């Protein structure tokens, strides 16, 4: 094997780990944002439908924040389970 090929193999695991870290953090951000957004949109829709403004918006917004925090704490456990399977 050539020396360039050996250096390429050494750099690849570092690049793979970097890409995994980026995807891990973007997964957290997208999940948290989506949880809050779904809560807000559902609260606004139900407030408009039932005429209970702003109570359901507040309720579902806080529920979305709670779901985002729960997801934040569950993500490392899910990642560990996935790495144990591999």
**pLDDT 10s digits, 10-53:** 666 778 888 988 988 898 999 999 999 999 999 999 999 999 99
When pLDDT is cut at 50, 70 and 90, the band that residue 4 belongs to is low
The residues, any chain, with a CB within 8 Å of residue 85's CB and separated by 6 or more, are none
**Tokens of residue 82, six digits:** 């996935």
The residues, any chain, with a CB within 8 Å of residue 21's CB and separated by 6 or more, are none
Which three-class secondary structure state does DSSP give residue 37?
A: helix
- Euclidean distance between the first and final Cα of the chain, in Å? 29
Of 56-60, 69-73, 81-85, the poorest mean pLDDT is in 81-85
**Tokens of residue 62, six digits:** 């806080």
pTM of the model: 0.73
CA separation for the pair 46, 16 (Å, rounded): 44
């Amino acid at each position: 094997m050539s020396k360039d090929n050996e250096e390429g193999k050494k750099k690849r695991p570092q690049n793979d780990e970097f890409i995994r870290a980026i995807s891990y953090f973007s997964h957290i951000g997208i999940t948290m944002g989506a949880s809050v957004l779904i809560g807000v949109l559902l609260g606004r829709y139900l407030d408009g439908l039932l005429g209970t403004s702003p109570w359901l918006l507040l309720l579902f917004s806080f529920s979305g924040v709670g779901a985002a925090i729960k997801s934040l704490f569950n993500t490392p456990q899910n990642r560990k389970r996935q790495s144990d399977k591999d």
